Amino acid sequence: MLQKIYDWVDERLDITPLWRDVADHEVPEHVNPAHHFSAFVYCFGGLTFFITVIQILSGMFLTMYYVPDIVNAWESVYYLQNEVAFGVIVRGMHHWGASLVIVMMFLHTLRVFFQGAYKKPRELNWVVGVLIFFVMLGLGFTGYLLPWDMKALFATKVGIEIAMTIPVVGPIAKTFLAGGEIIGAQTLTRFFAIHVFFLPAALLGLMGAHFLMIRKQGISGPL
Amino acid sequence: MSKEDISRRQFLNYTLTGVGGFMAAGMLMPMVRFALDPILKEGTDQEMVAVTSVEELANEPKRFDFKIKQKDGWYESDVTQSAWVYKAKNGDVIALSPICKHLGCTVDWNTDPSHPNQFFCPCHLGRYTKDGTNVKGTAPLAPLDVYDSQVKDGKLYLGKAKPRKGA
């Protein structure tokens, strides 16, 4: 049945080359853990991506209950965690996944660094990777405020004070991030928008570029 | 088992699909159940609320407003509800919900000059007789909901509005 549907579409649109192009590529022996167990270090990039997918999915589901409003934010988080079935698990996935993404990304960066895999011709991919790193930190920073509890509030106050210390543009950066004079209602909605729309969009674009480049250039050779 | 039964490639394909499917299901199951929670949640009971003293009631339906406590997820509030209440000939108290069974507009008593002494919904000209039965040929397909009611110490208490079988 599935095969028939696929054939029907393929006959008309010739989709096979599209996915063949993505799916068919040789995995060199030196990155295959079945040949050399130490090749497991090549998994960290993929793991980062895998956890990112979990973050996007669990985040989408969390917004079904979450409200970015100072009166209701904490209550809605409390409700989704304690009253909704599997709320603890879905929120837990997003909470722990956030830390795990940073860990995996760090390990991936270490691997690339110590293998010198960032060298010519892959410098540009390193740069994009660093941009992804900053976007991830931004996602972590903006997401931290959303539960609107004491920890979130004061962590954000400190974070914005840090932004304030940038020479010249500090005060502007502070007002821009807070959306006003104080960390309050406007900060919360602003952080929510950045967390669920702006940064994920940037992240998807950068990840696309990251993957395109690795496919174009191929993975770096053995040490 | 002959060699043709299943090829190495096929076996690996099945294994990978199986394991991958299991992992994906394990990941998605909590999220899907999380999203479907409102469907599977049990309805909440509602306390009977004192609406009016029975002396206020007449044979003509009268509209009474009353406040109930409503819990909507994390948001709790007092909500005003209305009921059309009258005393039937045999002394029974009838309390009808004013929500039209067609598409949920609000019905009024005796506001259609060409059909007096009926409940009338202005949205699609739906009509109901005094006992809430929908008039055939008009938009609504079911009679108006009836509130659970109780008379205690000369006061009328109302609970939840319950649907009735169609006319």
State yes or no: pLDDT of B167 exceeds 70.
Answer: no
State yes or no: pLDDT of B88 exceeds 60.
Answer: yes
State yes or no: pLDDT of B145 exceeds 90.
Answer: yes
How far is the alpha carbon of A76 from chain B, nearest alpha carbon, in Å? Answer: 6
- Supply A219's token pair: 């993975």
What value of ipTM does the predicted structure carry? 0.86
Q: What is the pLDDT of residue A135?
A: 98
Q: In CATH terms, is domain A37-217 a member of 1.20.810.10? A: yes
State yes or no: pLDDT of B29 exceeds 90.
Answer: yes
From chain A, the residues in CB contact with B40 under 8 A are 85
Task: Tell me the one-letter amino acid at A183.
Answer: I
From chain A, the residues in CB contact with B10 under 8 A are none
How far is the alpha carbon of B145 from chain A, nearest alpha carbon, in Å? Answer: 30
Which of A54, A81, A90, A95 is the best residue to mutate to test the B interface, defined by the most B CB atoms within 10 Å of its own CB? A90
Name the closest residue on chain B to residue A66, using Cα atoms: B74
Average pLDDT over residues B78-99: 92
Q: For chain A, give the mean pLDDT.
A: 95
- Which H/E stretch holds residue A213? helix A199-217
Judge contact between A76 and A91, C-beta under 8 A.
no
Closest CA to A219 of A22, A31, A43: A31
Distance set, CA B113 to CA A55, A60, B86, B120 (Å): 61, 53, 21, 10
Boundaries of every domain in chain A:
37-217
State yes or no: pLDDT of B1 exceeds 80.
Answer: no
Taking each helix axis from N to C terminus, what angle separates A199-217 and A123-145, rounded to the nearest 10 degrees? 160
Q: What is the pLDDT of residue B54?
A: 86
Burial of A114 (0-12, 13-18, 19+ CB in 10 A): exposed
State yes or no: pLDDT of A86 exceeds 90.
Answer: yes
From chain B, the residues in CB contact with A61 under 8 A are 31, 34-35
How far is the alpha carbon of A136 from chain B, nearest alpha carbon, in Å? Answer: 22
Q: For chain B, give the mean pLDDT.
A: 91
Judge contact between B116 and B139, C-beta under 8 A.
no
Cross-chain Cβ contact A72/B34 below 8 Å: no
State yes or no: pLDDT of A105 exceeds 70.
Answer: yes
From chain A, the residues in CB contact with B28 under 8 A are 57
Q: What is the pLDDT of residue A221?
A: 87
A111-150: pLDDT as tens digits: 999 999 999 999 999 999 999 999 999 999 999 999 999 9
Cross-chain Cβ contact A61/B75 below 8 Å: no
Contacts of B107 (CB under 8 A, 6+ apart): B84, B98, B99, B100, B119, B120, B121, B126, B128, B144
Closest CA to A133 of A44, A211, A203: A203
Q: What is the pLDDT of residue A143?
A: 97
pTM: 0.86
Q: What is the pLDDT of residue B4?
A: 67
> Reduced to 3 states, what is the DSSP secondary structure of residue B151?
strand
Cross-chain Cβ contact B74/A75 below 8 Å: yes
Name the β-bridge partners of B109.
B119
> Reduced to 3 states, what is the DSSP secondary structure of residue A179?
coil
Average pLDDT over residues B132-160: 92
Q: What is A66-135 written as a DSSP string?
A: ---STTTHHHHHHHHHHTSTTHHHHHHHHHHHHHHHHHHHHHHHHHHHHTTTTSTT-HHHHHHHHHHHHH
Closest CA to B81 of B98, B100, B93: B98
From chain A, the residues in CB contact with B33 under 8 A are 85-86
Q: CB-based contact (8 Å) between A96 and chain B?
A: no
Q: What is the pLDDT of residue A223?
A: 81
Distance set, CA A98 to CA A102, A132, A139, A142, B164 (Å): 7, 14, 9, 12, 51
From chain B, the residues in CB contact with A93 under 8 A are 30-31
> Reduced to 3 states, what is the DSSP secondary structure of residue A172?
helix
Contacts of B82 (CB under 8 A, 6+ apart): B63, B64, B65, B66, B98, B106
Q: What is the pLDDT of residue A88?
A: 97
Name the closest residue on chain B to residue A77, using Cα atoms: B74
Closest CA to A220 of A146, A113, A90: A113
Instruction: Please name the member of B34, B40, B73 whose beta carbon is closest to the beta carbon of A61.
Output: B34
